């Protein structure tokens, strides 16, 4: 497992080193980043023989008191996704090194991309739900940075914000579901959760947790109705689109469904909800793809469609459906990654992505066109390409979903073939007509540096069609076993399975797609209106901002007493909720000592000074009374054996009194504009808050579940810190950073006091 841990850490190390040694616009940034990606790829590939059939688990304590750990889980499923992330990542990084020109900040781009890759590897190798969530959110943040890389463009900022908002909402919902699952099972370790699935399913939290996890998965994988963020994310540079939105980020949701399928498939709504959403997303995404004239937009909606197809297969957590879903996921990573890169090549050479402006690529860019056509035909499910086998496996399972969903699946396959033929056939001759007085510039095939990566991915798609059994059967079988929590199934991948309903449906999809292209697509209006989902998102975001500002303005109005009311009310409500739910714990006695008369006297002085502060008629009297209360409290700390607290309190009070005395002279006369009156509500809230805090402290003090931390300091001050003065050891060694923070705060406050006094003296 050590090699896999290094593989996960290499991208983060690469990002750090890149920031230190690479020039901002130098080409070396791409090659340095590619070297780190290659290192991760080699380490992951080297781990395949060890962990493909014999899963491994590594646990590193993180927060043991909370039962949290950083865990690595290596099995067929995580290795499949990790090879996609690192393998296609190496192709994309190498492509981007040649694709980006000197006008771009290459260093920043590759740092973001390396951080994203590291986060994705963390997601698929995490063996703990909480650490998985941490990496999950890292993918959202880094994708936000990558989508908005061209931040000077409004559309880039819009797409980045939309992706972050939607995926972050889903991520928070998913976290709530994870917490429910962990509390129900008593652990957050994924292998242990699978073993305790009956305990989770018997919990009343099982169904709400499943709904929340589904929400996290479908927002990340751009399923209907949350698909709207993916097309606008195409404003990112082409390598980002190829990596994030074809091979990695959008598949995080699919990975989550596959990983937690054995745990949650017993929840009645899990499979029907995911399968229905997947089929609907497939058909709807295909329909929207047919309406696009921008090549990246077409591929974006086709990605939405393909993700829906895969989700519908992974929903059932059975050997047959999961093998179909994972095999198509592998195919999709190959042909879709290649297609995005090739669209970047076309835009780079022809300076447009508009199908209505592009000329005949078959003649102008023959090598580029051949690669693009093969990728499109594989996506359409044309034999003998790998996409045909996985599409036929999908149709075989979809025909068992019932008449309605089966019909929607076949319609989605027809629409998919339609937009694929728009790429493969439409770009062969090209429409090449003028649009807004412009035509595409004549392009030509680029150098090998831009074509070898897409060519390698297309070669993989061809090989999966010609040799599926030796190349994928064993790997997919081990991945299926990890995804369904069972022994590896015997899988038989082949181009020909005989005459069947799936073959007829596949032929219908191909024939219908050709007919759809020639009869409708070529004559359609290429200008697609704004999607309803986008309008709903824009309206919701605008109203959210408006209502948030109004709500904040209702209590954030500059009156400090209102802020205090909100803070105290929340605290009182929290304590009251616990008491109502659990009752008042028994007040047990705790160790006490004989109190001396002067300790009571100091306590009374502290209380009296605090009351005097509230009743003071002038600011000077209030400041002096407040200082007396603070210094008395410091004396009480010292008498009770806490000299460190006493010293801190003295310094805080000294600074506070000096600061108050320095600034209050600039304020208007106290009480001139404010009428002093007794407020019963404020008095009641203060009384309840004080009593509630006292009650909480009494309950905590009388119901200890462990020894005090003081015993730890006494035992370890000499052995670990080498000091006999326990207070000094605490301040300097055990709580050194805390002490440094306190000193810093006091130093800043002291400088502020000095500046105010100095200004006052100079003005005088």
The stretch 132-146 carries a mean pLDDT of 93
Q: Are 110 and 359 contacting, i.e. CB atoms less than 8 angstroms apart?
A: no
Least confident of 69-83, 145-159, 457-471, 651-665: 651-665
Per-residue pLDDT tens over the stretch 336-386: 999 999 988 888 888 888 777 776 788 888 898 899 999 999 998 888 888
Per-residue pLDDT tens over the stretch 12-40: 999 999 989 888 888 889 999 999 999 99
The stretch 104-125 carries a mean pLDDT of 93
The stretch 647-669 carries a mean pLDDT of 77
The stretch 118-136 carries a mean pLDDT of 93
pLDDT at residue number 525: 57
Closest to 374 in 3D by CA, of 301, 454, 309: 454
Domain extents in the chain: 269-515, 596-670, 707-764
Residue bearing the bigger pLDDT, 728 or 156? 156
| Sequence-ordered list of residues with C-beta below 8 angstroms from that of 586, at least 6 positions apart, any chain | 702, 703
The set of long-range contacts for 395-404, using a CB threshold of 8 Å and a minimum separation of 24, is 395/501, 395/502, 395/505, 395/506, 395/509, 396/320, 396/324, 396/500, 396/501, 396/502, 397/313, 397/316, 397/320, 397/321, 397/324, 398/279, 398/312, 398/505, 399/501, 399/502, 399/505, 401/275, 401/279, 401/312
pLDDT exceeds cutoff 50 at 288 = yes
- Pick the most confident of 101-105, 254-258, 529-533: 254-258
Give the orientation angle of helix 106-125 with respect to helix 76-99, to 10 degrees.
170
Closest to 243 in 3D by CA, of 153, 374, 136, 116: 116
Q: Are 160 and 148 contacting, i.e. CB atoms less than 8 angstroms apart?
A: yes
Q: Which residues of 510-542 are buried (b: 16+ CB within 10 A; e: fewer)?
A: bebbbebbeeebeeeeeeeeebebbeebeeeee
Per-residue pLDDT tens over the stretch 731-758: 788 888 888 888 888 788 778 777 877 7
Residue bearing the bigger pLDDT, 163 or 524? 163
- Where does 186-269 have alpha helices with state H? 190-195, 197-201, 206-220, 229-232, 238-242, 249-264
Q: How far is CA 619 from the centre of its chain?
A: 50
Least confident of 108-117, 193-202, 389-398: 389-398
Give the single-character DSSP code of 128. B
Least confident of 119-123, 220-224, 504-508, 674-678: 674-678
Helix (H, G, I), strand (E, B) or coil at 497: coil
CA gap 489, 497 in Å, rounded: 18
Helix (H, G, I), strand (E, B) or coil at 67: coil
DSSP-assigned beta bridge partners for residue 58: 72
pLDDT exceeds cutoff 80 at 292 = yes
pLDDT at residue number 273: 94
CA gap 585, 9 in Å, rounded: 47
**N- to C-terminal Cα separation, the chain:** 71
Residue bearing the bigger pLDDT, 354 or 313? 313
State the SS3 of 706-717.
CCCHHHHHHHHC
- Percent pLDDT > 90 in the chain is 30
Instruction: Kindly report the length of the chain.
Output: 764
Q: Is the peptide bond before 71 cis (omega within 30 degrees of 0)?
A: no
CA gap 505, 509 in Å, rounded: 6
Per-residue pLDDT tens over the stretch 174-197: 999 999 999 999 889 999 999 999
Phi and psi at residue 63, in whole multiples of 5°?
A: -130, 80
pLDDT at residue number 433: 46
DSSP-assigned beta bridge partners for residue 60: 70
The stretch 512-523 carries a mean pLDDT of 77
Residue bearing the bigger pLDDT, 470 or 588? 470
Least confident of 350-359, 585-594, 640-649: 585-594
CA gap 463, 481 in Å, rounded: 24
CA angle 284, 287, 293 (to 5 degrees): 135
Q: What is the mean pLDDT of the chain?
A: 85
Write the DSSP string, 697-760. Answer: HHHHHHS-SS--HHHHHHHHTTTTT--S-HHHHIIIIITHHHHHHHHHHHHHHHHHHHHHHHHH
How many DSSP H helices and E strands does the chain contain?
33, 2
Write the DSSP string, 351-419. Answer: S--BTTT---HHHHSHHHHHHHHHHHHHHHT-TTSHHHHHHHHHHHHHTTS-HHHHHHHHHHHHHHHHH
Per-residue pLDDT tens over the stretch 711-733: 788 888 888 888 888 878 887 88
Q: Are 513 and 106 contacting, i.e. CB atoms less than 8 angstroms apart?
A: no
Helix (H, G, I), strand (E, B) or coil at 494: coil
Q: Which residues of 336-349 are buried (b: 16+ CB within 10 A; e: fewer)?
A: bbbbbbbbbbbbeb
Q: Are 580 and 698 contacting, i.e. CB atoms less than 8 angstroms apart?
A: no
pLDDT at residue number 24: 87
pLDDT exceeds cutoff 60 at 472 = yes
pLDDT at residue number 434: 44
Q: Which residues of 383-394 are buried (b: 16+ CB within 10 A; e: fewer)?
A: bebbbbbbbbbb
pLDDT exceeds cutoff 60 at 432 = no
The stretch 41-48 carries a mean pLDDT of 94
């Amino acid at each position: 497992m050590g090699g896999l841990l290094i593989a996960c850490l290499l991208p983060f190390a690469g990002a750090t080193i890149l920031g230190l040694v690479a020039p901002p616009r130098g080409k070396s940034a791409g090659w340095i980043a590619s070297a780190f990606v290659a290192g991760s790829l080699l380490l992951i590939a080297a781990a395949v023989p060890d962990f493909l059939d014999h899963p491994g688990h590594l646990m590193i304590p993180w927060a043991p008191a909370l039962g949290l750990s950083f865990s690595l889980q290596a099995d067929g499923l995580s290795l499949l996704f990790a090879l996609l992330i690192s393998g296609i990542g190496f192709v994309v990084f190498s492509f981007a090194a040649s694709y980006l020109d000197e006008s771009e900040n290459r260093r920043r781009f590759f740092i973001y991309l390396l951080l994203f890759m590291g986060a994705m590897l963390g997601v698929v190798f995490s063996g703990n739900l909480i650490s998985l969530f941490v990496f999950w959110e890292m993918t959202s943040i880094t994708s936000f940075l990558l989508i908005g890389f061209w931040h000077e463009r409004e559309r880039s900022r819009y797409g980045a914000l939309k992706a972050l908002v939607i995926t972050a909402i889903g991520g928070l919902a998913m976290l709530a579901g994870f917490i429910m699952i962990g509390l129900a099972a008593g652990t957050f370790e994924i292998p242990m959760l699978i073993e305790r699935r009956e305990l989770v399913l018997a919990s009343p939290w099982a169904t709400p947790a499943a709904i929340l996890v589904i929400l996290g998965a479908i927002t990340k994988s751009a399923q209907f109705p949350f698909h709207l963020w993916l097309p606008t994310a195409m404003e990112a540079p082409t390598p980002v689109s190829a990596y994030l939105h074809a091979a990695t980020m959008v598949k995080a949701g699919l990975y989550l469904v596959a990983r937690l399928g054995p745990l949650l498939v017993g929840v009645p709504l899990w499979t029907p909800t995911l399968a229905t959403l997947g089929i609907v997303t497939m058909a709807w995404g295909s329909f929207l793809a047919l309406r696009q004239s921008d090549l990246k937009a077409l591929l974006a909606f086709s990605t939405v469609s393909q993700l829906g197809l895969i989700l519908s297969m992974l929903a059932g957590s059975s050997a047959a459906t999961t093998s179909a879903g994972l095999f198509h996921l592998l195919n999709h990573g190959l042909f879709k990654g290649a297609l995005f890169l090739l669209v970047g090549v076309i835009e780079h050479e022809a300076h447009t992505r508009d199908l209505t402006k592009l000329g005949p690529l078959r003649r102008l860019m023959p090598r580029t066109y051949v690669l693009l056509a093969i990728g499109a035909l594989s996506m359409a499910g044309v034999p003998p390409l790998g996409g045909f086998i996985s599409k036929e496996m999908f149709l075989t399972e979809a025909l068992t979903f019932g008449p309605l969903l089966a019909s929607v699946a076949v319609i989605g396959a027809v629409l998919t073939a339609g937009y694929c033929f728009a790429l493969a056939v439409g770009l062969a001759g090209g429409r090449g007509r003028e649009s807004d007085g412009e035509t595409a510039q004549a392009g030509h095939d680029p150098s090998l540096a831009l074509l070898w990566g897409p060519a390698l991915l297309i070669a993989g798609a061809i090989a999966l069609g010609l040799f599926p059994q030796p190349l994928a059967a064993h790997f997919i079988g081990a991945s299926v076993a990890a995804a369904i929590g069972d022994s590896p199934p015997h899988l038989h991948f082949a181009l020909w399975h005989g005459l069947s309903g799936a073959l007829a449906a596949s032929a219908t999809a191909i024939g219908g797609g050709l007919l759809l292209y020639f009869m409708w697509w070529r004559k359609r209006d290429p200008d697609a209106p704004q999607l309803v989902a986008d309008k709903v998102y824009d309206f919701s975001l605008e109203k959210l901002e408006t209502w948030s500002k109004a709500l904040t303005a209702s209590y954030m109005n500059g009156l400090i007493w209102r802020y205090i009311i909100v803070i105290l009310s929340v605290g009182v409500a929290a304590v009251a909720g616990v008491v109502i739910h659990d009752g008042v714990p028994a007040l047990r006695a705790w160790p006490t000592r004989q109190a001396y008369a002067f300790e009571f006297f100091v306590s009374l002085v502290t209380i009296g000074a605090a009351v005097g502060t509230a009743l003071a008629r002038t600011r000077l009297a209030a400041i002096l009374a407040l200082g007396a209360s603070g210094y008395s409290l410091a004396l009480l700390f010292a008498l009770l054996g806490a000299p460190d607290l006493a010293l801190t309190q003295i310094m805080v009070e000294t600074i506070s009194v000096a600061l108050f005395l320095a600034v209050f002279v600039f304020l208007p006369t106290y009480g001139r504009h404010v009428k002093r009156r007794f407020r019963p509500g404020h008095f009641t809230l203060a009384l309840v808050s004080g009593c509630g805090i006292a009650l909480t402290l009494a309950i905590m003090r009388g119901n200890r579940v462990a020894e005090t931390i003081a015993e730890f300091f006494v035992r370890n001050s000499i052995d670990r810190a080498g000091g006999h003065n326990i207070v000094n050891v605490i301040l300097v060694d055990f709580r050194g950073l805390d002490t440094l923070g306190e000193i810093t705060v006091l130093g800043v406050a002291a400088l502020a006091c000095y500046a105010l006094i100095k200004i006052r003296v100079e003005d005088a």
